[in-house]
Chains A and B, each alone.
Chain A
Amino acid sequence: GAVVSQHPSRVICKSGTSVKIECRSLDFQATTMFWYRQFPKKSLMLMATSNEGSKATYEQGVEKDKFLINHASLTLSTLTVTSAHPEDSSFYICSARRTGGTYEQYFGPGTRLTVT
């Protein structure tokens, strides 16, 4: 149990285009989902926290108009990188916290975004 999936696993896009990444909790409901960014050989940087049915809370320094987050259901959150630039190239990882459970947080396999 407690499986989180992400799609796509890898994506290459051209500068100026937008890319959507999906995060799903497959076998549990997640009121809260998180989006992280990880630079090579670095730790995870929390970008935003999303709660189902409400607006995401963004961390300081993260542009909310650039990284659009939607948490439409208890099992799905999406991150859209708008007008992508090469500096947005990174490994994006989502995470979900089980509704009503302890503070266990489960992570997706990550999405490697490359902007050319």
Chain B
Amino acid sequence: GEDVEQSLFLSVREGDSSVINCTYTDSSSTYLYWYKQEPGAGLQLLTYIFSNMDMKQDQRLTVLLNKKDKHLSLRIADTQTGDSAIYFCAEFGGFQKLVFGTGTRLLVSP
């Protein structure tokens, strides 16, 4: 089956850049996503990238995809305290459903 892995925790200072990494195993992934979850809330779709793209930028967010290594990253520029949350990567591939990573808890300190 598919497997999506993330590091569990990341701590940065306000104003720094954050980079959250994700690896996946499904070579037939067509779309890859980043979601944000704040405490007690559902998931907010931040951005997604097609598997034939290398990079996508959307304001403070930059997504990089290395399809050969099956590695996805999310860079948040000028990280703010309001960015503190859990970030999930997810891939959509051969099984026609989203497979989520384990989630990375981002803590932004002032």
Chain B residues touching A, majority SS: strand
- CB-CB contacts of A93-109 with B at 8 A, as 1s and 0s? 10100000011111111
Closest to A4 in B: B42
Q: Is A106 a contact of B45 with CB atoms below 8 Å?
A: yes
Q: Is B100 a contact of A107 with CB atoms below 8 Å?
A: no
Closest to B31 in A: A103
Instruction: Identify which of B30, B43, B102, B103 contacts A107 (C-beta below 8 A).
Output: B43
Number of A-B contacts (CB under 8 A): 45
Give B49 Cβ to nearest chain A Cβ, in Å: 11
Report A20-49 residues with CB < 8 Å from chain B CB: 34, 42-44, 46, 49
User: Is B92 among interface residues, defined by CB-CB distance under 8 A?
Assistant: yes
In this complex, the interface size class of chain B, counting residues with CB under 8 Å from chain A, is 10 to 19
Known A103-B31, A104-B48, A107-B35; contact A46-B98, beta-carbon cutoff 8 A = yes
Report B43-91 residues with CB < 8 Å from chain A CB: 43-45, 48, 88
Q: Is B97 a contact of A107 with CB atoms below 8 Å?
A: no
CA of A44 to CA of B99 in the docked complex: distance in angstroms? 9
Residue numbers in B under 8 Å from A110 (CB-CB): 40-42
Known A104-B48, A107-B35; contact A44-B41, beta-carbon cutoff 8 A = no
Which B residues fall within an 8 A CB radius of A?
30-31, 33, 35, 40-45, 48, 88, 92, 97-98, 100-103
Q: Which 6 A-B pairs have CB atoms at the shortest separation, nearest pair first?
A: A107-B43, A107-B42, A109-B42, A110-B42, A43-B100, A103-B31
- 12 example contacts (A-B, Cβ-Cβ < 8 A) are as follows A2-B45, A44-B43, A46-B98, A93-B43, A95-B98, A103-B48, A104-B48, A107-B42, A107-B44, A109-B41, A110-B40, A112-B40
